[in-house]
Each structure stands twice: as C-alpha cells, then as structure tokens.
Amino acid sequence: MTALLLAAVGTYLLADLFFMHLYIPNRYTRHALAVLLIVWNARNIDLLIDRISGLRLKAIVLSAIILFTGFMYFEEFIESENSIDRRRYDPMCQFFRQLPDKALIAGPPFYMDNVTVQGKHSVLCNFKLAHPWFATYYNEIKERTRATFRAIYATDEAAVNALHEIYGVDYFVIGLSYYNRGRLRKGQIYVNPYNDYISELTVDRTGIILKYPPVGAIVYRDSRYTVIKLPL
C-alpha cells in the first residue's frame, strides 16, 4: 500500500510536469487520495502506533492524526458548493427533460452542471464538469462564460440575443440571486478572474433587462429560477 501510494503521487507529479495542464488537479485527486489514505491507514496505522513507546505518546499521535484528518476534510461533512442538496434543481430540470434533445441551454455556470446531469441537455458552459476535450478548450470556455455574464447583466436585448445568434442557445436560465445588491456590491458573483469582468458589467445596475424579463419570453419560473426562450 505504501508503494502504491508513493507511485500514484510520483507519477501524478511527473504527468503534471511533462504534459499539458488540461485539468484542475484538486478535482481529480482530493477524493481518490482520501480513499487511498483510508486504505493505507487501515493496513498500517496499528503498525505505526506499535512502534511508538509510551501510552501517552501513542494517544497524542493518534489524536493528532484524527484532528489533522478532520481539519483537512471537514468540508466534506458540511453543506457547501460541493455538497448542496441537488433536489432544488429538480423541478427546473424536469422542464428541460421535456425539451427536444438538441435544445441548447445557457445560464450561470454554477447551475449548468445540474442541467447537464439532471436536465439531460447540452449547455453552453458549465463549472465542475468543464473538462477540456481539445487544445483551445479553455479559451473557448472563457469567451462563452464572458458572453453568458454579458447576457445576465445586459441593458439591451442585443447581448442576450447574441447567445442565440452566435452559439445557437435556445433557452436561458436566470438566477434571481445574481441580481442581489449585496452580492453585487461584494463583487463575488463567480470565480476569479471573472469577478473583475463582472464588476465592470455591473457598474451601472439600472436597466438590467433580465432582472425583469419580458413576460412573453418566460417558459418556466419558480422561487429561485426563471427560464426564458431565445431570441427575445
């Protein structure tokens, strides 16, 4: 198990050093490494403790291991962006599952992972599921993400309809929380470096058309989300 763990870490570092950086390492290693460590501890922790002389020192070492593990992985035991109750998206995704297979959905990237998995539809850009399939992937996704936020905070229909004209987007998801004044004031709408770009878009917070979208364009609405048909 020790050899397996060291080999896994070593080959991962070599791959990161010599090959293209086409992934976010933490995404793929955090849970896999936790499982490897659990298995390693199950086989070796008693051997390690037996090598320590003195009951008090053994207790200290064991307590330190438990506390360190809890500190490193406490996020896995609380609700966060990685462990929210995904059932909140189900009513909206039920609507998407009724749409034609080729319908393309756009909206805040945080939501689009759920539209892909639960709604069973392709999306313009997403968040955790943004896996690079070609060399220029990140440049393409960067522009799609910027175009999405231009639509969210557009003050005229052109930026919204551009998603349909350029990318063929058929439906757009509006998250009501994205127009919260406190959230806009803090400038923490998405992940960096996009927050600076979004701050530029929201200097003037008046006249944002999707905050109150045209009634005739609305095809779905609940307490959190509104879906509109494009083009306007």
Structure confidence by residue, pLDDT tens digits, 117-136: 999 999 999 998 888 888 88
Distance CA 148, CA 144 (A): 6
Q: 5-9, 140-144, 178-182: lowest mean pLDDT where? A: 5-9
Distance CA 115, CA 123 (A): 7
Question: Are 143 and 222 contained in the same domain?
Answer: yes
How confident is residue 86, by pLDDT bands cut at 50, 70 and 90? confident
Pairing of strands 218-221, 225-229: antiparallel
Question: Are 140 and 197 contained in the same domain?
Answer: yes
Question: Are 182 and 215 contained in the same domain?
Answer: yes
User: Rg of the chain over CA atoms, in angstroms?
Assistant: 23
Give the range of the structural domain holding residue 34, as residue numbers without chain letter.
2-77
Question: Are 72 and 91 contained in the same domain?
Answer: no
Distance CA 81, CA 132 (A): 21
Most confident of 4-18, 38-52, 144-158: 144-158
Asked if the model's pLDDT at residue 227 lies above 60, the reply is yes
Question: Are 160 and 100 contained in the same domain?
Answer: yes
pLDDT at 78: 67
Q: 6-20, 125-139, 140-154, 155-169: lowest mean pLDDT where? A: 6-20
pLDDT at 26: 59
Distance CA 79, CA 103 (A): 32
Q: Which residues contact 26 (CB under 8 A, 6 or more apart)?
A: none
User: Among residues 35, 54, 77, which one ends one of the domains?
Assistant: 77
Number of domains in the chain: 2
pLDDT at 188: 83
Question: Are 103 and 41 contained in the same domain?
Answer: no
Asked if the model's pLDDT at residue 24 lies above 70, the reply is no
pTM over 0.75: no
Question: Are 130 and 213 contained in the same domain?
Answer: yes
User: Among residues 33, 48, 77, which one ends one of the domains?
Assistant: 77
Q: Which residues contact 107 (CB under 8 A, 6 or more apart)?
A: 115, 123, 148, 172, 173, 174, 175
Question: Are 26 and 112 contained in the same domain?
Answer: no
Question: Are 46 and 128 contained in the same domain?
Answer: no
Most confident of 13-17, 71-75, 191-195: 191-195
Q: What is the mean pLDDT of residues 3-28?
A: 71
Cα atoms in the Cβ-side hemisphere of radius 13 Å centred on 122 = 10
Question: Are 15 and 107 contained in the same domain?
Answer: no
Question: Are 24 and 52 contained in the same domain?
Answer: yes
Question: Are 28 and 104 contained in the same domain?
Answer: no
Q: How many CB atoms lie within 10 A of CB 187?
A: 11
More confident residue, 62 or 147: 147
How confident is residue 184, by pLDDT bands cut at 50, 70 and 90? confident
CA angle (205, 142, 116) in 5-degree steps: 90
CB of 99 closer than 8 Å to CB of 121: yes
Q: What is the mean pLDDT of residues 131-155?
A: 92
How confident is residue 80, by pLDDT bands cut at 50, 70 and 90? low
User: Among residues 77, 107, 136, which one ends one of the domains?
Assistant: 77
